[in-house]
Structure 1
Amino acid sequence: MATTTAAQKRAQEKVAYDAFVAACPSRKLLDRISNKWVTLILAALGSQEVREGCAGGPRSMRYSELSRLLAGVSQKMLTQTLRSLERDGLVTRTVTPTVPVTVTYELTELGLSLHDMMRGLKAWAETHMDDVLANRETYDGRVA
């Protein structure tokens, strides 16, 4: 009887990831990263242009900066979203012992690998919003 190592077992399970299968754990990950706050946080942390008006690389941001930038996000939602991103390994949280304490958030390598897609999704929504609104109006006119 052949035994499999833990690494071999993980490799077999990885091949089996298929989001179209109901029991696949990647569905929960897709659910988490498709959240609007996740999209906006990853887009904000991944680019200097948010703050400085120019293209640049990833940067760290303080909690208060994120809170101001993400209009409409509650303190509770921002905290929960940042914690879930940290738990998934997409964001790191750094606490600096100052008065008051400084807390910054930054994308990890894993978070950076998702950043371009999130920026693209945000840009697509901003670019095509007029088209979507026109299509909704046309559809609602037919259905009513």
Structure 2
Amino acid sequence: MQINIFSIQKNDKEFDELKHKYIKLLKPYAVVNDTYIYNKHITHAQNLGAKEAKKSYGEALNPYKKGFCIVLDENSKEVNSIEFANLLKDKNEISFFIGGAYGLSKDFIASFDLAISLSRLTLAHKFVKILLLEQIYRGFCINHAHPYHK
């Protein structure tokens, strides 16, 4: 299986070791590609305000939509670990999308196969990515009866 993670953020190396730990743990189950998306257009749009920023995020992320596309959105449905594990079943490729500081527009969110929330809390991107990777690993462990999930 192919797992893609696309996030609107600058490359932050602070959690690289932990990120790579989960990517390595996932190797028996999936190949993980982690792509940071950030450019001058996004920076400029963010300086103009939320509406322009959300538009620029959508324009930057849209070309990467492939496979079963899941957007992370704090206002969408929360799922538990078992429900999340079920999302990983019977798919060849899943792409996860993490918006920028202003979130994503409702229209853009509606264009995805699924929108979920990992938490009602507002979380920093670097934490969201680690949390997402851990839940992906947990999901595969659940689906393969691995003792990691108890």
Whether the TM-score (by the shorter chain) exceeds 0.5 is no
Question: Which of 1 and 2 has higher RCO (CA within 8 Å, sep 6+)?
Answer: 2
Structure number with higher strand proportion: 2
Alignment TM-score, normalising by the size of structure 2: 0.25
Structure number with higher helix proportion: 1
Instruction: Tell me which structure has the larger Cα radius of gyration.
Output: 1
